[in-house]
Amino acid sequence: MTVFLNSGGIGEVIAGRVLQGLATGAATGAISALLTDLAPTGNKKLGGMLASIAPLGGLGVGALVTGLLIQVTTDPSAIFLAFDIVFALGIVLTFLVKEPISRRIGAAKSLIPRVAVPTAARSAFTASIPALISSWMINAFYLGLVAAILQGVFGIHSGLINGAAIALFTESAAASVLIFRKLSSNTNSLVGSISLIVGAALTVIGLESGSLVVFGISAILGGMGLGLSFSGSVSLIMPHAQAHERGQLFAAVYVVSYLAFGLPAIAAGLFVASEGLLAVATTFAIVIIVIAAVSLGAHIVRGSQAPRSK
Mind listing the pLDDT tens digit for each residue in 147-169? 899 998 899 988 889 889 999 99
Q: How many CA atoms lie within 13 A of 138 on its CB side?
A: 42
What percent of the chain lies above the pLDDT cut of 90? 39
More confident site: 40 or 137: 137
The DSSP secondary structure of 79-99, one letter per residue, reads HHHHHHHHHHHHHHHHTTSPP
* pLDDT per position as a tens digit, 137-149: 999 999 889 889 9
Residue 302 CA, chain-centre distance (Å), reads 24
Whole-number pLDDT of residue 25: 81
186/128 Cα distance (integer angstroms): 10
Q: What is the mean pLDDT of residues 31-37?
A: 80
What percent of the chain lies above the pLDDT cut of 70? 95
Distances (CA, A) of 123 to 183, 263, 268: 21, 25, 32
Whole-number pLDDT of residue 309: 43
More confident site: 47 or 177: 177
* pLDDT per position as a tens digit, 102-125: 777 776 776 777 888 998 999 889
146/241 Cα distance (integer angstroms): 37
Domain ranges within the chain, ordered by starting residue: 2-100+116-305
Q: What is the mean pLDDT of residues 14-33?
A: 86
User: Quick check: helix, strand or coil at residue 296?
Assistant: helix
162/156 Cα distance (integer angstroms): 9
List own/partner pairs for 43-50 with CB under 8 A and 24 or more apart.
44/238, 44/239, 45/185, 45/235, 45/310, 47/238, 48/231, 48/234, 48/235, 48/238, 49/177, 49/178, 49/181, 49/231, 49/235
Burial class of residue 192 (count of CB atoms within 10 Å of its CB; 0-12, 13-18, 19+): buried
281/137 Cα distance (integer angstroms): 12
191/185 Cα distance (integer angstroms): 10
Whole-number pLDDT of residue 200: 95
- 133 has pLDDT over 50: yes
- 285 has pLDDT over 70: yes
User: Quick check: helix, strand or coil at residue 154?
Assistant: coil
Residue at 76: amino acid letter:
P
What's the chain's Rg over C-alpha atoms? 20
Q: What is the mean pLDDT of residues 240-253?
A: 85
Does the 2-100+116-305 domain belong in CATH 2.40.128.720?
A: no
Whole-number pLDDT of residue 53: 86
* pLDDT per position as a tens digit, 77-105: 878 888 899 899 988 988 888 777 677 77
Q: How many CA atoms lie within 13 A of 48 on its CB side?
A: 29
Contacts of 169 (CB under 8 A, 6+ apart): 60, 142, 146, 219, 220, 222, 223, 226
Q: What is the model's pTM?
A: 0.81
More confident site: 130 or 75: 130
* pLDDT per position as a tens digit, 183-221: 888 888 899 999 999 999 999 999 999 999 999 999 999
